[in-house]
Structure 1
Amino acid sequence: MYEIIYMTFLGPDKLMHEELLYRLDISARHYYRIRTQAINIIALRLWSAPAGEVDSWLEVLSILENW
């Protein structure tokens, strides 16, 4: 799930859909299913986290982006 989120939204390369599917080696159906699950997990964690934790989650995401 991390790879899908990273390559779709955070990565420095803006890939065409076909290139993204090729690099992930998955079908379009599988991509959309996993991407939806990953977005839902991130949304739940961000919206259900106490205000103090949101900053730490955003920091983790920025660290992962630079990784």
Structure 2
Amino acid sequence: MNNNVEESLLDEYRQSGEKVRVVRDEMEQNDVVGIVVAWDDDSVMIRRPNKRVVKLSRSYVYQPASSPRIVQS
């Protein structure tokens, strides 16, 4: 089963510069918020507010940071 985030959605986030929330598990404190800067087949690079760049799996849930947090099972 392929639950990876769509290429078109990542491109939309990158071009708009919209902040995204990456939901990694049920705990909100483990979320990563930042701007999509790049991606490949397996991972996404997110620039956090402190300017650090983190590499995350594409299998996580990516949603706009301005929207309420939604955890998908």
In terms of fraction of residues, the more strand-rich structure is: 2
Q: Which has the larger radius of gyration?
A: 1
Could you state the TM-score of these two structures normalised by the residue count of structure 1?
Answer: 0.26
Q: Identify which of structures 1 and 2 has the higher relative contact order when contacts are C-alpha pairs closer than 8 Å and 6+ apart.
A: 1
